[in-house]
Chain A
Amino acid sequence: MSAETVRFWLDGAERRGPAGVPVGFVLYAQGERILGWNEATGAPRGLYCGIGHCFECRLTIDGVRDQRACLVPLAAEMQLTRQAPPPALTFQEVP
């Protein structure tokens, strides 16, 4: 791969990867299979369709939530953040 290697950040940790390659693929190749957690169930999710259709690969990228990792090319100093699993749902008795 001839792409330039750049520095980026995953959950605050320093990483390096090929610029221009969608970040979802970069992370997959680096062994990062979990990209987030389903909001309803908390189950781990990762790259699936690779083409922008399934929305399972959503990350916070440079502060913007819910960006599809399979569509956003890696750029230098990019901040990638996995969106935390939701706190356990609590139910209240409705009076």
Chain B
Amino acid sequence: MSAATCDAVVVGAGPAGLAAAGTLTARGHSVLLVDEAPVPGGRLRAQWYRLGSAVWDGRAEVRRLVEGVGAGATWRLGTAVHAVSGTSDEGFAVDLGAEVVRARTVLLATGATEVPLAMPGWTLPGVLAVGAAQTLWRGWHMAPGRRGVIVGINPLGFAVAQELADAGLASLAVVMPPPGLATAHLGSVGEQWDRLLALAAGAPPWAKPVAGLLHGRPGWRRAAMRWFPAQGIRVAGARLQLTRQALALEGADRVEAVRLQRLDAGGEPVGAPWREAVDFVLLAGGLRPLGELLGQVGAAMGHYEGLGGDVPLVTTRLATSRPGVFAAGNTLGIESARVAMAQGGLAGLGMAAHLGDEPPEDAWQRARGAMAAARRQVPFTFQPGLMQARAQHRQDSAREVGP
């Protein structure tokens, strides 16, 4: 195949994009895979979780997916997509800067970005988005530092804390973000507690110590805060300090200290703030679907807090409102990598059908079965209210873009 035209362009070589590409190449379609990163896999590469006695090894999953893509694909790694224009009938034009590729169908699997916690001092060198620390350690075996804190309560934060603790690298304190951030829903103590509750309900092994705290009677939040130990409790190898709030990150030309404040049972500050020395800080603001290209092609979107933000409305085949443009993975809402893979498989079949190669019914059944199984196996709930948001998204999608 010449790269200048192909059946399908897949934007994003993470779990969703790789699974879709594998589905398409297996059916004999030519695929061009594009990703900004120099290596395939997206965030999946850096994932490594214990699930009971089993281990979820992101790198191994990426290897398997890349093998599945096989020789039927052309790769453009380290390459950004500048624009997607045109229509399926005339052929989409995907602008890669150095070349323009034409295709009859496009998958946007651009994943998610971290929500910034824009607190005082957050631009100091040594302050990292928590995903960057995961990539540093899991991707490249480099430690983020020796003494740090995680600001914000978020599954990604706990996963990273667990990995760093397992490796004996750093013992991290997890503290609350400061009040009054622009991302207000992340900032309030109540919201952070709700997030924690949602995490505990997902029952990952590390959430067990907190789950007991949260089961409860009316006023549980206040009661739990009252007897929450000031030194914190151990969760995922980190010290979870719900009665401590980070007010500011400080340092001359790199982060050197975090200014902390104690909170009372109502989440109100008590006593004077103090400084603790750190050599790195991880900000855990949560993930938000990344959908600039969806906006560019004019796909119909909806906003769902439980899915992490703005996501496209899609058919059950994951077709957006723009004929020939499909979406899969975290760009459709923040869920696990397993769900992203299953969505990729489904979108791959949808794209094949769009190319005139309608897959047999049993292929659809397998893909839908994989999706249901992936959703049963989630290690933790990323967003409070995920289930309701998903149901609402399905309902809105059926109305706006069809079944």
Chain B 53-87: CB-based contact to A (< 8 A → 1; otherwise 0): 00000000000000000000000001010000000
Contact, CB under 8 Å: A53 / B38: no
**Chain A residues bordering chain B, tally (CB within 8 A):** 29
Residues of A within 8 A of B143 (CB): 29
Ordered by A's residue number, 18 sampled pairs between the chains whose C-beta atoms are within 8 Å are A1-B140, A18-B140, A20-B38, A25-B139, A25-B140, A34-B254, A38-B123, A46-B254, A47-B132, A49-B113, A49-B129, A50-B136, A51-B43, A52-B36, A52-B37, A56-B123, A71-B36, A71-B78
Q: Which of B117-150 contact A (CB under 8 A)?
A: 123-129, 131-133, 135-136, 139-144
Q: Which of B125, B144, B254 has the most CB of A within 10 A?
A: B125
Q: Which of B305-360 contact A (CB under 8 A)?
A: none
Contact, CB under 8 Å: A50 / B135: yes
B interface residues, Cβ below 8 angstroms from A = 36-38, 43, 78, 80, 113-114, 123-129, 131-133, 135-136, 139-144, 253-254, 290
Residues of B within 8 A of A70 (CB): 132
Q: Report how far A25 CA is from B143 CA in the complex, Å.
A: 10
Contact, CB under 8 Å: B113 / A53: yes
Q: Report how far A21 CA is from B336 CA in the complex, Å.
A: 26
Within the complex, what minimum Cβ distance (angstroms) separates A35 from chain B?
A: 7
Residues of B within 8 A of A44 (CB): 124-125, 253-254
Residues of A within 8 A of B124 (CB): 44
Q: Report how far A73 CA is from B38 CA in the complex, Å.
A: 7
Residues of A within 8 A of B136 (CB): 25, 28-29, 50
* Option from A21, A33, A46, A49 in Cβ contact (under 8 Å) with B140: A21
Judge if A16 is at the interface, Cβ distance under 8 Å: no
Name the CB-closest residue of B to A36.
Answer: B125
* Option from B78, B123, B125, B132 in Cβ contact (under 8 Å) with A50: B132
Judge if A7 is at the interface, Cβ distance under 8 Å: no
Name the CB-closest residue of A to B279.
Answer: A33
Residues of A within 8 A of B140 (CB): 1, 18, 21-22, 25, 29
Q: Using known A-B contacts A1-B140, A25-B140, A29-B136, determine if residue A51 contacts B37 with beta carbons closer than 8 Å.
A: yes
With A35-B125, A48-B129 already in contact, 17 other A-B pairs whose C-beta atoms are closer than 8 Å: A21-B140, A22-B140, A25-B136, A25-B139, A25-B142, A28-B136, A29-B143, A33-B125, A34-B254, A46-B254, A48-B123, A48-B128, A49-B131, A49-B132, A52-B37, A71-B38, A73-B38
Q: Which of A28-85 contact B (CB under 8 A)?
A: 28-29, 33-35, 38, 43-54, 56, 70-73
